[in-house]
Structure 1
């Protein structure tokens, strides 16, 4: 099999039981270290429930990253946005960021929008461009990383994303929990080198904390500042003392939703 990232041959690495029933071959690229599954024919079954019962960190993850994203926006992007959360799940992160005053919009083809209704990409003008695209815990789900990132970059020229880096070149499902074959959704696993090569394909720079937060952009970013923003204590101080206060969008969002509901027939609004 050819590596999805650098188009060089990948070696069969191990056979894993996916969704407790499918014997699936994983391939490791000999050049960039990227690990991918065979063609994931089981994905329709894996996404019968978009958010798996094993994703117990969904809420804490959104609360953790919100201050970091705020700091990164204040430092390098226009706070007035707009911003797109790609693969935004239930819309929780979008709601949190809008409450902080940043006009985020949600996009997710698999999951129901529970917390950010009326602030979905389906409600936006066609060909809307975004100041920054975020994608938390999305990249590992991509059977075609290059094709999907190309779509993201049509929406915005910078992508801030999280995915855990391979801890060592010889990692296996037995030694690293992040494979999670039980859910069948993690089909692409990245080394730092593979992410750098992926960014280079689009003539972008990669900035990374070396663990799980990464930024692809053409902007000139100070790597020290980027890593600094992944420390919760430091990022709180930055947000407190830098930039102007950003009024929450909660009240204006409420009025927008309220006005839209008043225009609907009663049965539709309920």
Structure 2
């Protein structure tokens, strides 16, 4: 059995079978061209998304803290021209809040999860064009990648995303934790070649890093500088360079004013 690859439209052959959500036996397919791994048509998603954030994702807070530091450095040291940004698939709004606390003008977009920490900064696709779109732990959830990618393309000139690249050789589902079989939400697993295919199709330059953060940029970046910035220990000396004033106090005042208007 074979399927059309959802990324490059190549031929995806049956690759593996596994049990997800402790009850559904499903099939995985791997593209012979771009090496993208996709599941069969994911009929189980309503069940998998009974909660937008799975209970086993205990790394959520730590991941947001780590990526907020990395993206803060990236914007100050590698992409200083970026002004307005949006976090796509931003979950509870934690990353948007952390980035605004660091002085970066971030907005939030996620139609599937309650925004708890960045209320008042929600946007809708098409509302405006941003300099940057971040999308952390989003790519592996894409049932129709090009539908989401077209939205990213329309939202912003540059993208910073996170996803784990499939090792070579590609592991079976019981050999790699990133399949997240107990959650059932990881239905798209990206190879380096699949990410390169996306960069080519959407006319971006791709820079891959070892920490799972990857940049699609309209202008070619310095890959050595970017990878240095992403390495946490080697770049701490520059944490005060081009530091931006926190938006925390201004946002708190705006929240107070919104509350007053509602009760007036």
**What TM-score results when the alignment is normalised by the length of structure 2?**
0.95
Paired residues of 1:161 and 1:213 also in contact (CA < 8 A) = yes
Paired residues of 1:77 and 1:131 also in contact (CA < 8 A) = no
CA shift for structure 1 position 179: 0.2
Render the CA deviation track for 1:205-258: whole Å, top value 9, x for unaligned.
110114511011111201111111111123322222x32x31111111011111
RMSD: 1.6
Q: Which residue number corresponds to residue 219 of structure 2?
A: 219
| In structure 2, distance between residues paired with 1:149 and 1:24 | 25
Q: Which residue number corresponds to residue 208 of structure 2?
A: 208
Count of residues in correspondence between the two structures = 262
Paired residues of 2:10 and 2:31 also in contact (CA < 8 A) = yes
| Secondary structure, aligned partner of 1:98 | helix
Equivalent residue in structure 1 for 2:53, among 48, 51, 54: 51
| 2:141 pairs with 1:141 | yes
| In structure 1, distance between residues paired with 2:55 and 2:42 | 20
| 2:189 pairs with 1:189 | yes
Residue correspondence of structure 1 range 51-200 to structure 2 within 5 A: 51-78=53-80, 81-121=83-123, 127-200=127-200
Of 142-151 and 78-87, deviating more is: 78-87
> Runs of at least 4 residues of structure 1 off by over 3 A?
76-80
Paired residues of 1:67 and 1:235 also in contact (CA < 8 A) = no
Paired residues of 2:211 and 2:230 also in contact (CA < 8 A) = no
| Secondary structure, aligned partner of 1:10 | strand
Render the CA deviation track for 1:155-180: whole Å, top value 9, x for unaligned.
10111010001122331111101001
Paired residues of 1:78 and 1:131 also in contact (CA < 8 A) = no
| Secondary structure, aligned partner of 1:164 | coil
Paired residues of 2:75 and 2:82 also in contact (CA < 8 A) = no
Paired residues of 1:84 and 1:104 also in contact (CA < 8 A) = yes
CA shift for structure 1 position 78: 4.5
Paired residues of 1:67 and 1:239 also in contact (CA < 8 A) = no
| In structure 1, distance between residues paired with 2:238 and 2:211 | 21
Using a 3 Å threshold, how does the CA distance of structure 1 residues 80 and 251 change in structure 2: closer, same or farther? farther
Paired residues of 1:72 and 1:229 also in contact (CA < 8 A) = yes
Q: Which residue number corresponds to residue 229 of structure 1?
A: 229
Paired residues of 1:90 and 1:115 also in contact (CA < 8 A) = yes
Q: Which runs of 5+ in 2 are unaligned?
A: none
Structure (1/2) with the larger strand percentage = 2
Paired residues of 2:160 and 2:216 also in contact (CA < 8 A) = yes
Paired residues of 1:88 and 1:106 also in contact (CA < 8 A) = yes
Render the CA deviation track for 1:9-50: whole Å, top value 9, x for unaligned.
111011111212222110011111110001111112111100
Q: Which runs of 5+ in 1 are unaligned?
A: none
| In structure 2, distance between residues paired with 1:103 and 1:152 | 18
| Secondary structure, aligned partner of 2:215 | strand
Equivalent residue in structure 2 for 1:248, among 246, 249, 257: 246
